[in-house]
Every structure is written in C-alpha cells, then in structure tokens.
Structure 1
C-alpha cells in the first residue's frame, strides 16, 4: 500500500495577523490506515476460523445452494488479499531498511504520532478509530521508518524548525479526547426505549447497530472516534456533552441541531498532553524535510534493494 508524502497544506493566517500557521496533513495517512484495517479485518477473520472440513465446507446457503469455504476464501483474496499481502511485505521491507540504515523508532515517537492523529479532526471517516490500537501503532511505526529513510540526508536548519514550532504551538497542545459512541433516533420516545434497554444490560454497541438511524455510525456500533470539547466537526451539543460522561456510561437523550435525538457513550478518555519544542523537534524537522521531496515515495521503491518478492509477481 502506498504511503503519500505530499503533505503540503495551504497555510491559514493566525488571528494576530502574524506569520502563516501551517497544519501538517494527516488525512492521507488516515485513509491509508483505514484501508489497511479493513483489509486486515476481513482477511484475518477468514483465516482465524477453524478449517475442519476442507475447502468444500459449507459456510452459508441460499435457497438450498451452498456457498463453500473455498468460494469464500477466493472472494476474500480477490477483494482484499493483494492489499493485505502488500501491507505485510512493505512492513517487512521497512523493518529491513531500519536495520540497514540503523534507524530507530521509539514508543515516544509513536505516542506523538498517535496523539496527533487523535487531534486531527477534519471530518475524516471515523472508521479508522475501530482499528486495533496495537495494529495501528505497528502501521505508524512502519510509516515513521519510511519517513526517516527518505529524509535521512536532508538537512533542516534549527532556526526553521523553531520558527515552525513557534508559529504552530497549538498543534502540539493536545486536548483531552473522549472516544465516543452514539445512538441516533428520530424521537424522544425511541430514545427512552433505548435507554431502558441499556439499563437492562443491552450493550451500547449492539443497540447502536440495531436502532441507530445514522447508518454510517450505526454500522460501526455507534463509534464516532475521539471527540474534544472544542471540536467543530461534530454537533456542538455532542462536543459539549462528552466531557460530562463517565467512561463506560451514557448520557441522557439530547436533541441535535437537525432535530434528531442522540444518546452518547464514552468508552475511553485519552488524557491531553502538551509537547514541548524538544519533544517535537525531530518530528517537525522530518515533516519539513518531507516537503522538500520532489515526489511521493512508497515502500515499494525499496523492494529491489531488499530483494522483496511476492505472489503477484512484478
């Protein structure tokens, strides 16, 4: 899977009329991680199911006509097998590159990237937040190795790094974020029924899939990702309410701006962090170096160097 490094972003003018404030582009990486997650999920679920009866085992049927495991697996490979294998090969290639060029990626660096992702609320597809965090961290580590390989010979002056940090300190003041699920219904009566089911032990995720009229989030068990108090990409009432909900609890029904009724649940609170100049110096230097690359570069560019081969040939 390709990693896009064309991260230039149109500058936005700060409120004080000073130097332009730039925000690093995270959306291409988020889209990439979403694709990788979907491929992983569907492909590995198939492999994890025990295969006791061989390829002719019936896994479903329609009007008496069976669908076999072999047919299922072939369809899975056709849809997602190439992308999943590509991810695995690229991950191994980058691990090899890290050893070759003596590149290290620390947990602290991954923590910073993860915090930046959680704070990058740009109306992106929230499916990314459904990814297993360990797998997400692995993907971020692979991305960081690639970036370090690409920028290892590019020199960025300290004064330029410091100037960027001074102009964009708000980027590194990460607010508390609340991983949120929601159930959206059309009336207060439906909301009361949902609350009653929750009080009787029904899981919030299952109820969101069953009852939420917001199909995009309902299919994800109501997951809308990490929400901050001052976030502008969600209904203001959602942003205001999440800070008042205890983890693993839910809110009273609240009316949204479109007239629908929402019930919110917070499943995790990510504590805010403020990253100092020393914390992000290398991160900023690398981002500025990436902007100097003439074109996007992907891990596949290193396949020949590290003798990578795969099922799909060239």
Structure 2
C-alpha cells in the first residue's frame, strides 16, 4: 500500500514539475515585452487564444498546487539539513527499481525521466525520515514485518520492451528490412504501428514481467532471448504481426533484511503515527509565508 501511495505522490510531483516548467519559462519570456504575451497559441474560426490567456488559465487551475509543491521541496531540504538527515543512494536506487518494475510507464527521454524519478524518490524518503525521526520501532517488530512481507522486497526479471504492430506479414518483413538498413525503431513505430497508444511514444510499452497480461505472453519469451537493443522476427498477434525490441533488462533481485530494515522502520513508524506523509507538517517550523497565506497549505 505504501509503495502505491509513494508512486502516486511521485507521479503527481513530476506532473507538477512539468506544469511549473511550462508556466514559469513562459513568465520569464513574458517580461521581454508585450508581443510575447499577445502571441496567438490557438485559433478557432475568427477567435484567438493568446499566450497570456493560456498562462492565466494555467495559473488559475494549477498555480496554487505548483507553488505548494515548490515550497514543500524547499521545506524538506531545510528540515533535512536542520536534523542532519540523509538517505543513501542504495535506498533511492532500490525504490526506483521496485517502482519502475511495478508501476512502469513509457518514457520518451529515459535519462531525464530516471533523474526526475530518483529526485522525487529521494525527497519522499527524506520526508518520511524527518517525520519518523523520533519514533521508536523495535528490531523484533521490524524482523516480523520482513518475514510477513518478503514478496514486497523482491524484484523479478523485468524487460523494457517496445513494439511495432502491422496488419500483414509482408508489412512486418518490410519493416524488418528497414530496421536492418538503419531505420530508427521508434520512428518506424510512430509511422507504421497500428497500435496508436504505443506508436505515439515510439512503440514503448514499458516494463514487462513473467505473467504479464496486458500483452501477448510471446513478448516475454522473445525478450528473454534478445540482447538489449535487438529486435525480434515478426510474431503473429491478435491485431496482426508484431516486432518486439528489448530496450533494457533488469535482473531480478531479492533484498535481505539488512538492505531494507530502514525502509521497514519508516513504514511501521508511519503506521503507528497514523498520519499522512506531508511536508506541510513542517511549514510553521520552516516559517513559510506564501501568496495564499502565512503557513496554511489549504
């Protein structure tokens, strides 16, 4: 349950960061003159929507949430410095791998995506450490939790896969020839694949594990035999013929008690506190003042 909540929080933070980037980059450009703010970003018949109107709407809809997120991140950093709290790279990497293989989604820019996810995971773990810093949890409780929930600390072999689906075997063979001649798999997926959702992101369908039900079982069997960066021969599927590419393989791992005991301590402590993990708890201590009030986050 905690891991699902963590993923939801992180996904929300990444969305807010994207909105922040759009909004504030535009605001910076706006100060260069009125021409920018009057730029037309859309038109419907004889009616125009200017960039300034768009920005005003963004601020009205998301401005408070974006600002709160920015404040929360600074509050977490300040409190972590104040109480000399850190989280290890191993903890961040473990959470990233577990989240990635459990709640994966396609990414157009893997390096940027990974950096953002790890940044938000670090902030989330710091927040939990700060909140639970004074909560005492016995070793016996932690070991019992580990024995009862071992499956939570195990990652199966996981395969990051892209695919191209075309209607006929002839189209599939032609696509293979183009790939062999140096064509980009992602570009070809966008141009040729009839599976629109994945085609829009270059054929990327995220990470798959054994027993995956969203896609044909043949995908995993094929992925196991491929080297990273290689693609398969055409596979007959319900929609036609698929070409599967292995982007990355994550080797399965089972974490032992010593590797996850700090995570377990946080989870038990948060349950005992019966409180949500929120940086707003420390707003008053951090002396937050903002556009919407002094320290209230509501």
TM-score range relative to shorter protein: 0.7 to 0.9
Contact 1:185 1:261 in 2 (8 A): yes
- Is structure 2 residue 141 aligned with structure 1 residue 160? yes
Distance across 1 between alignment mates of 2:141 and 2:164: 46
| Unpaired segments ≥5 residues, structure 1 | 1-6, 8-24
Q: Which residue of 2 aligns with 1:241?
A: 222
- Per-residue deviation, 1:128: 7.6
Q: Secondary structure of the equivalent of 1:247?
A: coil
Task: Kindly state the Cα deviation for residue 98 of structure 1 after the two structures are TM-superposed.
Answer: 1.0
Q: What pairs up with 1:1-314 in 2 under 5 angstroms?
A: 7=1, 25-45=2-22, 51=29, 53-63=35-45, 66-120=48-102, 124=103, 126=105, 132-229=113-210, 231=212, 234-256=215-237, 258-313=238-293, 314=296
> Displacement, 1:242?
1.8
How far apart in 1 are the matches of 2:183 and 2:20?
Answer: 29
SS of 2:273's equivalent in the other structure is coil
Paired with 2:132 and 2:11, the residues of 1 have a C-alpha distance of 25
Question: Aligned partners of 1:191 and 1:312: how far apart in 2?
Answer: 57
In 2 relative to 1, CA 309–260 (structure 1 residues): closer, same or farther, beyond 3 Å? Answer: farther
- SS, match of residue 85 in structure 2: coil
Mark the CA change 1:192 to 1:286 in structure 2 (over 3 Å): closer, same or farther. same
CA displacement at 1:125 relative to structure 2: 6.7
TM-score relative to the length of structure 2: 0.80
Unmatched 5+ stretches in structure 2: none
The verdict on how the C-alpha distance between 1:155 and 1:233 changes in structure 2, with shifts beyond 3 A counting, is: farther
Measure, in 1, the Cα distance between the counterparts of 2:19 and 2:183: 26
Deviation for aligned residue 1:30: 1.9
What does the per-residue CA deviation read over 1:244-294, in whole Å, with 9 as the maximum and x for residues that have no partner? 2222232222233x4543322222333443422211111122222222232
How far apart are 1:201 and its partner, in Å?
Answer: 4.1
Pair 128,139 (structure 1): closer, same or farther in 2 beyond 3 Å: farther
Partner secondary structure for residue 37 of structure 2: coil
Cα deviation for residue 184 of structure 1 reads 3.2
Q: Give the C-alpha shift of residue 232 in structure 1.
A: 5.4
Decide whether aligned partners of structure 1 residues 282 and 182 sit closer, same or farther in structure 2, where only a CA change above 3 A counts. same
Which deviates more, 44-53 or 206-215? 44-53
Secondary structure of the corresponding residue to residue 224 of structure 2: helix
Give the alignment's Cα RMSD to 1 decimal. 3.1
For residues 235 and 188 of structure 2, the distance between their equivalents in structure 1, rounded to whole angstroms, comes to: 17
Q: Is the 8 A contact 1:186 1:261 kept in 2?
A: yes
Match of 2:36, SS? coil
Larger relative helix fraction: 2
What is the Cα deviation at residue 43 of structure 1?
4.2
In 2, the alpha carbon distance for the partners of 1:275 and 1:190 equals 45
Gap change, CA 1:72 and 1:252, over 3 Å in 2: farther
Superposition TM-score, scaled by structure 1 size = 0.77
Note the alpha carbon deviations across 1:55-108, whole angstroms, 9 max, x for none: 123445455755433233334434544433332211111111212222111211
> How many equivalent residue pairs?
287
